[in-house]
Amino acid sequence: MTRRLADVARHVGVSQATVSRVLNDKPGISRATRDAVLTALDVLGYERPAKLRGERARLVGIVLPEMANPVFPALAEAMAGALAKRGFSPVLCTRTVDGVSEADYVSILLEQQVSGVLFGGGHYQEGDADHGHYALLRERSLPTVLVNAAVDGLGFPQVGTDDAHGTDMAYAHLAALGHDRIAVLLGPADHVPSARRLAAYLAARDRHGHDGPVIVGRSPFTMAEAQVAAARLIGEGARALICAGDVMAIGAIRAAHRLGLSVPGDVSVVGFDDSPVMACTDPPLTTIRQPVDAMGRAAVSLLLHQIEGHPGRREELLFEPELVVRASTGAAPRSAPRLA
């Protein structure tokens, strides 16, 4: 008990006597101090006294699919900063292939009595995935916000980028450079944002009067897998690629180089995200920028609105993407290059 008092007091910056008064539910303690002590208990892994367990902790789970893709740490940073300004502590939960699953994290967060959950990506984007843990969140009426497009029927507020408009801008940019053999490299077939981008790609082809072969590739969102898929698309005659993510675009550039082709001399590549290091790639990547900071802050605002007792927003909140032109796109080659 003494160690718990000391640890919590040190974490919050108050006396052990103040911590004791909070734990014994005594009067004379400000709401802010009381919340800070209870949050410290949760963060440090101490169990709340029975009389205080009915209250939700001022903790918010941030569930991410991975941290290798630079866009996810940037999103987590934006969310965590916005939460801290409102007195909430983030609990970062990152899925790994052989580690804790998204459903397991939901169970852990519910046990910790978090105030809400922010998803920065996850199985809600996959039509064929198990969505049972989302139903559990809905049954518990736990405030929840999803970032980027989700399958229908989950019933949570969503914040995202206008995938269709971003794809259209990428296609128009390449068409203006004289390209007409434009491929699109997407995620798996059940991935909702990829479905939106495919529809936009097909519509853009029609709008620009491109009647050549439809060149579509799919892969998981990894550099190695994208490199294999991009090599296949280039082999099918693609001379420009619109990729569903920056990491995939880097894989596409590597594929072109492995085939003895130059970027952008022989093949142009466009990414999606504008992760922080994309200006430093070789060549610097032309990409569609997601307003990650604004999206993260908006997701937190929607979550806190629910925590305060208001109903969640029904309409998806879409942000406008931006085309960032760098050195990975150029004029269409006059003749088909020879592959190595």
For 229-258, what is each residue's pLDDT tens digit? 999 999 999 999 999 999 999 999 999 999
Q: For residue range 50-66, list pLDDT tens digits in order.
A: 666 555 668 999 999 99
Same domain, 129 and 182: no
The boundaries of the domain holding residue 207 are 163-290
Using the 3D structure, point to which of 290, 312, 332 is the last residue of a domain: 290
CATH of the domain at 240: 3.40.50.2300
Same domain, 32 and 124: no
E strand or H helix at 262, and its extent?
none
Same domain, 204 and 271: yes
Q: How many domains does the chain have?
A: 3
Same domain, 269 and 298: no
Same domain, 152 and 78: yes
Q: Is residue 340 part of a domain?
A: no
Same domain, 34 and 88: no
In degrees rounded to 5, what are phi and psi of residue 237? 110, 5
Same domain, 208 and 273: yes
Same domain, 151 and 214: no
Q: Is residue 249 part of a domain?
A: yes
* Two tokens, residue 158: 């969503």
Confidence of residue 284 (pLDDT cuts 50, 70, 90): very high
Ranges of beta strands (E only) in the chain are 59-64, 89-94, 116-119, 144-147, 158-161, 182-186, 215-218, 240-243, 268-273, 286-289, 317-319, 322-324
Same domain, 175 and 226: yes
Predicted pLDDT of residue 57: 67
In angstroms, rounded to a whole number, what is the distance separating the alpha carbons of residues 259 and 236? 13
Same domain, 131 and 202: no
pTM for this structure?
Answer: 0.84
Q: Is residue 325 part of a domain?
A: no
Q: For residue range 135-164, list pLDDT tens digits in order.
A: 999 998 999 999 999 999 999 999 999 999
Q: Is residue 330 part of a domain?
A: no
